[in-house]
């Protein structure tokens, strides 16, 4: 199934430990149906010293969240919204907010 969320979208987390928090999508993983949200779902990873990280130690980083737990935030109303796909001229497709009926892209 194709993901409709894209890198850079503002989303709200609708379930889980970070419920109600908002953030920007940093990366989308379409084959797993997951996304990384900036500053949310942080986990601690133990890393060995290497060229990039000379000291090593415990590093906090974002873990992926399943896209079914994310909802796009409408820019006009600043509330989470469902969204659909509209066909524009010459076969182009665009996402639109079902709450405000405006194009998202």
Rounded distance between C-alpha atoms, residue 23 and residue 70, angstroms: 10
Architecture of domain 10-97: Roll (2.30)
d(C-alpha 86, C-alpha 4), whole Å: 13
Which residue reads 């600043």 in tokens? 78
| Interatomic CA distance for residues 12 and 20, integer angstroms | 6
Q: What is the pLDDT of residues 17-71, one digit of tens each?
A: 999 999 999 999 999 999 999 999 999 999 999 898 888 899 999 999 999 999 9
pTM (2 d.p.): 0.82
Residue 104: other Cβ atoms inside 10 A: 19
């Amino acid at each position: 199934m194709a993901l409709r969320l894209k890198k850079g979208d503002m989303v709200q987390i609708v379930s889980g430990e970070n419920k109600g928090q908002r953030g920007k999508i940093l990366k989308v993983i379409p084959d797993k149906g997951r996304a990384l949200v900036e500053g949310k779902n942080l986990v601690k990873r133990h890393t060995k010293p290497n060229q990039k990280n000379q000291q090593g130690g415990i590093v906090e980083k974002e873990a992926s969240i399943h896209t079914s737990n994310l909802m796009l935030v409408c820019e006009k109303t600043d509330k989470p919204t469902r969204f659909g796909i509209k066909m524009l001229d010459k076969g182009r497709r665009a996402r639109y907010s079902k709450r405000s009926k405006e194009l998202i892209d």
